[in-house]
Structure 1
Amino acid sequence: MALLAAVLLLIFAPPRAQSVEPTTRLTQLAHRAWRTGDAGLMGTPQALSQTTDGYIWVSTENGLYRFDGMRFTKWTSLPGESLPSISLWHLFGARDGSLYVSTDRGLARIRDGHVYTYPGGPRWPGPFVEDRDGGLWMGISGAHNNPSALCKVGETDLTCFGKNEGFSCVRGAANTTSSDGFLWVGSAEGICRWKPGTRPDTELVPSLSNGRGLSSITSMASTTDGEVWAGLKRSGQGAGLLRRANGHWTCYTAPGIDGRIFSVSALLPDQNGALWIGTADKGLYRIVDGRLDHFGAIDGLSDRNVLSIFEDHERGIWVVTPKGIDHFRDYAVLSFTASEGSLADHANGVATDRRGSVYLGSHTLAELSGKTLIQLRDDKGRLLEDVQFLFTDSRDNLWIGSGDQLFVKRDQRIASAVRGFPAGKGEYVAYITEDHTHDIWASVENLGNHESSLIQIRNYQVINRIGVSAVVGKQVMNALAPNAAGGIWIGASVHGLFSFRNGRFERVVAGGFNDRVENLMEDSDGALWIVTQQGFIRYFEGQARSLTTASGMPCDSGVNIHDDGRGFKWFYLHCGIVRVSDSDLAAWWQNPAEHVHARVFDALEGSRPNLSNGNPAQTPDGKIWSASDYDFQVIDPQHLPFNETPPPVKLERLIVDGNDVSLAQQLKLPMHTRQIELDYAALSYVIPERVHFRYRLVGHDTNWTEVGRRRQAFYNDLKPGPYVFHVTACNNDGVCNWRGTELAFTVPPAWFQTLWFRALAALLFLVIVFFAYVYRLRRFAKTLRQRFDERLQERTRLARDLHDTLLQTIQGSKMVADNAREHLDDSRITGRALDRLSEWLDRASVEGRAALEALRSSSVEANDLVGALHRVADDCISGARIAVSISTVGTIREMHPIARDEVYRIAYEAIRNACAHSGARDLWVELEYKRRFHLTVRDNGRGVDEYVLRSGKSGHFGLAGMRERALFMGGSFNISSSPQSGTVVSVVIPGQAIYRNPSRRLRDWLVEPFQSKADLH
């Protein structure tokens, strides 16, 4: 019983957070073993260490391995560098980030990926220890003929100390440093204590002095309280586990502990003050506060022979054996089985009382009170058997469903039976609850005929037994709960929810639910929680809402529910235990679209939520107990383990088009890179499966990509250019390393992706466009000249017709009139008329001949546009007070006659309008003969109304005619006007379209497109 009490104290004493709890049994810790061959570990492990960057390193007989929490990767050196041997032993991660490696050919150091081998070092150096000032010391355990005790490891050399410095314990196989600054060295000769600069003290170990060199100190350790420990890999009198007390070394003994039984192979004092002991034949032990705990191969340790023990940065404990590597950490949910002192390996129900006692129901009933666990008996001295259900009422009485009996524990005494009970033969108590009038209700099920009954108890006496099957059918009453409106709620195994009130059953369809009910609970608001396989339903004042995965829960399959009265509700599901705050639930109730923040405790944190019929129960200190089919479990919300270490994030591998690429700064990838893969890791070892990542490729991604647990990123659409890959991670408790890590790289362009190639391609494109433009312009000019020639032919035909018809007719009329005037003797009036007729016909003849001459004048080779415009200007001056100036720019070029006439008519109309309507004092006409012909007519008159400019004057077609003529020749027409500056008419026409001999110089062709844009606009 004393041993059982010690076990219980280990289990139930208040724990401390953030490390492996010294008060938790080793069998209650989360344990994982990687055996040789698992996760890439292909060599027999020898030792383990961790460097400041977060990596775990494992030395083996087949080289060095690196572990990132998910896989072991064999370390390879940089080209041209290597370790002295692949047969490795001790490892040590120093404060400066270096990793020191012990090999059968000497000592090597790995720093920033580079290997340095110490010259002249002993074979199998180690173990290593770092002093308070950061100095590194190593033992000489493997050098059989070396007279040194230990060596100080420098940057490039070793400084060894031995017999010449007064050491008697040479070839130190173990070492440590104590809080008072002493270095301790253990060997086959004894233990030496030394401070550099002084002479070492030798402290003899009786078992060594009598052992004739058959054994040696194999390990040493110093705890935070100043105690120094040593171990021999030999058990027996004076051997095993030694502790220094009063300057002497003796075997450690304590109540229940005999240090002589240990064949010590490794020692580790953890940061909580517990001493971990590795043995050569019995596995792992731990001593804390004078109590001993054990974890061996039968408990799952990879082997009973422990080679080394290590504590990482997150305070996880690592154990190395010849067959693998073991890791220990805390669970949030602790299990309580026969291994931890339970009376059975199965659990039916659990209950608590106000005194803090915990009642455990299985094949019997036990009470855990403080440090004591006892089996309970009824008032007749009989053990209770087959305890199926436990319930504590509002008066702190314990109700016990034991087989077909119902017992009650009150006043520290268990009554043999409730009056009016037992139930019938073959019946058992399935559920117990209390209503708001303090009546006790029990559901009783018959295993034979599957009939169900509801029993009402008042003042410890049955007052009512109701047959339920006749009303609700043959189904089990899985759960009972008090109803704030009176009576009770009944959760059935087939047809859902029922209300029993005032002797009447009523089926209740809450939110359309009519299926199996797993459990029921009334909360502090009087709402009913219905636990189902489809989620949790809250039913209140006729409203029902389901809390499911759509609301943020990890799964839907509910088992039970518990209200801790401290602001949280605990939901038991098949996928784990979930804690949700009451404030989150209130927000969800007000807005069903709201997501709750669910803290999940699943199998990775020790949860086994396959609960039995029993409800969770809570002790006054807040611990929540529950019973599963296999064990009892407890969770302490006030002392949950929490990993406060942000995980270091590392890029481990870059694969470009299937080939590994060395990770280096300013990395330049090959041209034509099609696909890249980036492998990354977060070096958190508590629950690596819970580490979450996000990444972003700057230069490609605009937002972060949340990828959960995935540890690879893939890209297959990268364009040439610079990129920066950035990845961050959060550990199992949501503590994040937002800085993460980065990798900058560049994808160089291929020759056809370079800037010069693109510029050349753009230039070539412009040249093609230019020549296409020139070709189009020449085609257009050719077409326009053909149209001009057609019009010229038509005008020549018209001139011929005028000559042959109209002119001849007029001439004949004149001759007739003249002849009549000469021979008629009519009156004077007739004569005067004939005179007038003659005058008119003469004038018509003159005008007709002039018109014919004008038509024919366009067909001559040398046409004078400037002279024609001068004549128009002279006519303008004679009819108005205006000064006209006509000028030319450039060499006057001959135009196609039709084009010349069109330009003439545009200029004629512009000059006539200025003379007739502008009221201007000055008129300027400019003809510019360049690659493009430019006509400008400008005055300083009153201007033209804006509406007339846009739409023209009603009944007049001068502006429209000028625009049509310009567009006909492939040119542009523009007119601007204002009262202050007058009116400007501008016409621009391509020379290719109107000149007789357009320019063919390359320079003109190159300048033409740019002049075109400037002139046209």
Structure 2
Amino acid sequence: MCRTLRLAAGLMLAALSPAGAAEHARLLSDYSHRAWTAAQGAPAQIQAITQTRDGWLWLSTPTGLYRFDGLNFERRDRVGGQALRSTIVLPLYTAPDGALWVGYRFGGASVFKDGQVRHYGAADGFPPGATYSFSRAPDGAMWVTTAGGLAWLNGGRWQRIGADSGFDPGAKSIWQVLFDRDGTQWVSSDRAVYYRRQGDSRYRIASPADIRLSSLAAAPDGTVWASNGSDANYRMSQQAPAAGRPARPALPGSGMWFDRAGTMWLLSENRVERMLPDVFPDPRQRITQEQGLSGMNPQTFFEDREGNVWIGTVSGLDLFRPNRVRPLPSHLEIATPALYPGRDGKVRLSNGSTGSWLMDAGGRRYDSSPHAFRSAATGRDGRPALGTAEGIWLPEAGGSGAMIPSPPAALKDQMAPRALAQDGGGDWWASYVNLGIYRHHDGGWSRVDYPGLPAARVLSMLADRRDRIWIGYPDNRIAVIERGAASMVGAAQGLRIGNVLTMVERNGHLWIAGELGAALYDGRRFIPLQLADGHELRGISGLVETAGGELWLHGHDGAFRIAAEQLGQFLRTGAAVGYELLDKDDGVSGGIQPTGPFPSMVEAGDGTLWLSGLGGAATIAPGPTARDTTPPLVEIRAVSSNGKAYPVAGPLALPPGANNLQIGFSALGLSMPDKLAFRYRLEGVDSEWQQAGGRREAFYTNLGPGSYRFQVIAANKDGVWNTGGATLAVTIAPTFTQSLWFKVICLLVLAALAVLAWRWRLAQMARLIEARHVERLSERERIARALHDTFLQEAQGTILMMQLAMEQVPATLPARAAMERGIGYIEQALVEGRDEVRGLRSPLRDDETLAQSLDRFGQRLAAGLSASFRLEQKGAPYALPVITGDEVFSIGREAICNAFRHARASEIVVELEYGAEQLTLLVRDNGQGIAADTLAQGGRSGHWGLVGMRERAARVGATVEVGNHGEGGAFVRLTLPAMYASA
């Protein structure tokens, strides 16, 4: 209570003090602030805020009920599919069972839960008039206040509180019910504030009375506060009001709330203030519209489950998210201060020009000194050494200390050293811009000029445990001074960090960090530190390995935390590490000055990490950040195709001709909506997840008809994925030309065209073959005529002449015998010539079919031999091309002749079948069969019958099969495909 009184008194004094008012005109530094106004889609005059179990933030306004996901405001006339009784809503409340309570400006209330709704009105005993608030008692009972009464829900009916219980505000409005930490019930009204102790049945009037008091708030110390809604907050008392004494407000403001940590928040007409009980006045803890507040008259307060504070104004909505990084008070006006850690949790800071001082994490100064420093190091005795324009200052408690003057060349220009180190012998090493490196030995300075040292600017120095001096240069170069000799390490040993900005030795590990990353030196080579997701480390000018095994790096993107287990894995295997990044959204403001001072991060004696940047100094409590383990709720919010919007509820059926799809989606991310990550895929199109990053739309073009399934998943700011996400089934109906029937018809048409083309090609080939056959036959007949008309006639005439001459030669003369032999030779040649002529002409008679010619030939042989002959014809005969007919007849004649000559059969049968697919000629007998070796060799040695048959068949596209029957006898089967059998 005393502390609250001191706070109130201080606040009143600060409010009356012009200087205090000026100091308060600053943004909050412990919170990141964001405001939404009409320009960002926010509704005006937000009157109540609540958060449902699924994470949505709900806002009541005079224009309706809104739902907010951290990025988009969505007006809702339904909750869970159930309609509101009215769009003009006032109070909101989320019950422990997840139910959402909504009160209406014109009376009544609704309760929405699990897709169901229960409406309450006069028939249920609900008090009349505008509904103002809902409250839950410690026993679980629900209370409501309205313009016409106070009631609690008993079963399914509301029980009104009347004058018989001591509660008699008359016709005045009842504003709010509050239960304090002792269970006492407080009720505010236009007439007075009433209270009823736990277990009592009657209400009493609290002090002060006869004042219009609306909102109530309970402080952690048990104090109950009431506000008049405009400019005053009163401390309530259970003592009877004193007669004749006007009430005096304890604090200004139009409203008061306490967050979960017990910190007071004050709302006034033009500002929001956060009142720290132990630090007053705190110039950081006020924000006005000039500093970014969304509007005037902040009128409602809500703290969500992540600790974010939401405040509604007449013009919009404000978010205050607690920062992990705490900037030091901005009135210190130090940009990029030099840092040196103390042992007791304090850190010495310097602006580099006017002085330095010790400071704690709360911003309080200690032990101020006129010596400003740009560089710092720890001596071998554990004492600090600070590089100033006068030299190396060795401070002591109480502001005293010793000064080692700089070299004359540096003192001339008042140049402070940019890097310091002390070797094992107690000598100090200092580097100066454009002057090089100096060493202080036996009271004097000498310039360090080892062979091989670069003539470049020194960026950092380190004295390690082995008494080596490490000197960092630009372009991956490090000089190592050991036992009076210098050697260079860097790119040849795997260093790839560019400018060497800082070097740290801790826990037996030597770390090197710089412009392009960080690396660990294992004594032989540099092992690069790489992040598991490929994020680049840029401008690392501060590096701390904590006693707890964490690794922190400060660079252009913010502060990287690598957990102890990740660091241990890197030390063992060199594997890439997972990390946590604290950036501008966590309070890391400003960039890194590339010219120093370095390092830009140090660890204080109590483990607190201090950062230095262009925005000043800030602190971080080490250890992991509390992670949000709740997967974000994902929703598909909009669907359109071919420029037309469609509802997103249920399966989506698109009309024929639709060929594109645009899908908008979102997820809940109240704290950091910009850090939500999305992945999506359209099954039927995407084989892998598409990485959307923070983009909240998906586009697909050139889609064909069919069934698809769209799925989107999201991760919150801490990388926790909702793997179920949201899905939408999409069906695109085909046009007639895309339908299955059309495809079948096209397939049938193509098949018909293919058949027609095939038949046309067959006919074309048949005509070509026939033309070639006719040409060959004509040529053969021409040759036959020429032989008959020339050679045979001449040979016959020659024989007649020789016979006449021979008759004139006596038979006793030897010449007659020679002439007889010559005439015999000529007659033999004549016979052979006639045979050749017969071979050139077709063996088929023009007046016979193929069957008739084969039958005539077989019957003629059977007439003089013992075997019988029979020909069987099947199918309707069709004409064969001339050459083809000749070859088929010749093959059949050869087969019949062989059967009569070699089979020793009693029966020879010829089967001629005219089929649709092929013509088959089969010659079989019941004789002795063909020897196996003959079949294997394709014929008997010196005999060409079987060979000739196969050659003839090949010329017309047919095949010949020769073999033996299982029951005895041989067969010859000729098969001629229909494509070659057509005339």
TM-score category of the 2 structures, normalised to the smaller one: 0.7 to 0.9
Q: Which moved more, 1:499-508 or 1:629-638?
A: 499-508
2:156 aligned with 1:172 = no
Match of 1:597 in 2: 578
Question: 1:187 touches 1:218 (CA, 8 Å); kept in 2?
Answer: no
Q: Write out aligned runs for 1:121-270 (5 A).
A: 124-129=130-135, 138-140=144-146, 143=147, 146=148, 148-150=149-151, 159=158, 161-163=160-162, 168=168, 171-176=173-178, 185-190=187-192, 201-208=202-209, 210-211=210-211, 215-219=212-216, 229=224, 231-233=226-228, 240=233, 242=235, 260-265=250-255, 267=257, 269-270=259-260
Question: 1:481 touches 1:490 (CA, 8 Å); kept in 2?
Answer: yes
Displacement of 1:250: 11
**Alpha carbons of 1:864 and 1:610: their partners in 2 closer, same or farther (altered >3 Å)?**
closer
Superimposed CA distance per residue, residues 851-900 of structure 1 (whole angstroms, 9 cap, x where no aligned partner): 87784662514324365167459869999x99987543323334344332
Match of 2:536 in 1: 554
Q: Write out aligned runs for 1:99-138 (5 A).
A: 100=102, 102-103=104-105, 124-129=130-135, 138=144
Displacement of 1:510: 4.8
Match of 1:16 in 2: none
Match of 1:463 in 2: 443
**Alpha carbons of 1:407 and 1:195: their partners in 2 closer, same or farther (altered >3 Å)?**
closer
Question: 1:862 touches 1:894 (CA, 8 Å); kept in 2?
Answer: no
Counterpart amino acid of residue 438 in structure 2: L
Q: Which moved more, 1:976-985 or 1:622-631?
A: 976-985
Q: Find the partner of 1:330 among 322, 327, 330.
A: 322
**Alpha carbons of 1:985 and 1:640: their partners in 2 closer, same or farther (altered >3 Å)?**
farther
Counterpart secondary structure, 2:417: strand
Question: 2:610 touches 2:617 (CA, 8 Å); kept in 1?
Answer: yes
Match of 1:860 in 2: 846
**Alpha carbons of 1:642 and 1:893: their partners in 2 closer, same or farther (altered >3 Å)?**
closer
Counterpart secondary structure, 1:785: helix
Task: Output the CA distance in 2 between the equivalents of 1:884 and 1:241.
Answer: 136
Match of 1:21 in 2: none
Question: 1:243 touches 1:249 (CA, 8 Å); kept in 2?
Answer: no
Match of 2:22 in 1: none
Displacement of 1:754: 0.8
Q: Which moved more, 1:612-621 or 1:808-817?
A: 808-817
Displacement of 1:280: 4.9
Q: Which moved more, 1:489-498 or 1:303-312?
A: 489-498
Counterpart amino acid of residue 31 in structure 2: A
Match of 2:671 in 1: 686
Task: Output the CA distance in 1 between the equivalents of 2:822 and 2:868.
Answer: 39
Counterpart amino acid of residue 216 in structure 1: L
Task: Output the CA distance in 2 between the equivalents of 1:222 and 1:967.
Answer: 111
Task: Output the CA distance in 2 between the equivalents of 1:515 and 1:846.
Answer: 109
Match of 1:613 in 2: 597
Match of 1:1014 in 2: none
Task: Output the CA distance in 2 between the equivalents of 1:846 and 1:502.
Answer: 124
Question: 2:43 touches 2:315 (CA, 8 Å); kept in 1?
Answer: no
Task: Output the CA distance in 2 between the equivalents of 1:387 and 1:978.
Answer: 116
Match of 2:636 in 1: 651
2:560 aligned with 1:578 = yes
2:421 aligned with 1:439 = no
For structure 1, the residue ranges without an aligned partner over 5 or more in a row are 8-24, 252-257, 378-382, 997-1017
Counterpart amino acid of residue 349 in structure 1: A
Question: 2:567 touches 2:577 (CA, 8 Å); kept in 1?
Answer: yes
Displacement of 1:520: 3.0
Question: 1:51 touches 1:93 (CA, 8 Å); kept in 2?
Answer: yes
Question: 1:306 touches 1:321 (CA, 8 Å); kept in 2?
Answer: yes
Counterpart secondary structure, 1:765: helix
Counterpart secondary structure, 2:440: strand
Match of 2:301 in 1: 309
Match of 1:59 in 2: 60
Match of 1:763 in 2: 748
Task: Output the CA distance in 2 between the equivalents of 1:882 and 1:576.
Answer: 112
Counterpart amino acid of residue 233 in structure 2: G
**Alpha carbons of 1:922 and 1:534: their partners in 2 closer, same or farther (altered >3 Å)?**
farther
Match of 2:16 in 1: none
Match of 2:11 in 1: none
Match of 1:11 in 2: none
Matched-pair identity in %: 24
Displacement of 1:323: 3.2
Superimposed CA distance per residue, residues 430-451 of structure 1 (whole angstroms, 9 cap, x where no aligned partner): 35655452626253759xxx64
Displacement of 1:743: 1.2
Q: Which moved more, 1:683-692 or 1:807-816?
A: 807-816
Question: 1:219 touches 1:264 (CA, 8 Å); kept in 2?
Answer: no
Q: Which moved more, 1:654-663 or 1:44-53?
A: 44-53
Counterpart amino acid of residue 366 in structure 2: Q
**Alpha carbons of 1:796 and 1:630: their partners in 2 closer, same or farther (altered >3 Å)?**
closer
Displacement of 1:765: 0.7
Q: Give the TM-score, by structure 2 length.
A: 0.78
**Alpha carbons of 1:853 and 1:545: their partners in 2 closer, same or farther (altered >3 Å)?**
closer
Task: Output the CA distance in 2 between the equivalents of 1:738 and 1:452.
Answer: 58
Task: Output the CA distance in 1 between the equivalents of 2:759 and 2:363.
Answer: 107
Displacement of 1:109: 7.2
Displacement of 1:677: 1.7
Superimposed CA distance per residue, residues 582-620 of structure 1 (whole angstroms, 9 cap, x where no aligned partner): 88678879998x644343222222224536525333245
Q: Write out aligned runs for 1:985-996 (5 A).
A: 987-991=974-978, 994=981
Task: Output the CA distance in 2 between the equivalents of 1:541 and 1:84.
Answer: 75
**Alpha carbons of 1:388 and 1:278: their partners in 2 closer, same or farther (altered >3 Å)?**
same
Displacement of 1:663: 0.1
Q: Write out aligned runs for 1:901-912 (5 A).
A: 901-908=886-893
Superimposed CA distance per residue, residues 243-274 of structure 1 (whole angstroms, 9 cap, x where no aligned partner): 68xx77999xxxxxx9820435353553x565
Counterpart secondary structure, 2:257: strand
Task: Output the CA distance in 2 between the equivalents of 1:556 and 1:830.
Answer: 126
Displacement of 1:396: 3.7
Q: Find the partner of 1:521 among 504, 521, 531.
A: 504
Task: Output the CA distance in 2 between the equivalents of 1:263 and 1:93.
Answer: 27
2:274 aligned with 1:285 = yes
Displacement of 1:769: 1.0
Displacement of 1:72: 3.1
Displacement of 1:303: 4.7
Match of 2:648 in 1: 663
Task: Output the CA distance in 1 between the equivalents of 2:643 and 2:287.
Answer: 45
Task: Output the CA distance in 2 between the equivalents of 1:682 and 1:877.
Answer: 104
Question: 1:932 touches 1:990 (CA, 8 Å); kept in 2?
Answer: yes
Counterpart secondary structure, 1:173: strand
Question: 2:393 touches 2:404 (CA, 8 Å); kept in 1?
Answer: no
**Alpha carbons of 1:49 and 1:938: their partners in 2 closer, same or farther (altered >3 Å)?**
farther
**Alpha carbons of 1:937 and 1:276: their partners in 2 closer, same or farther (altered >3 Å)?**
farther
Counterpart secondary structure, 1:703: coil
**Alpha carbons of 1:199 and 1:374: their partners in 2 closer, same or farther (altered >3 Å)?**
closer
Q: Give the TM-score, by structure 1 length.
A: 0.76
Q: Write out aligned runs for 1:807-826 (5 A).
A: 808=793, 826=811
Displacement of 1:684: 1.8
Question: 1:58 touches 1:65 (CA, 8 Å); kept in 2?
Answer: yes
Task: Output the CA distance in 1 between the equivalents of 2:895 and 2:142.
Answer: 103
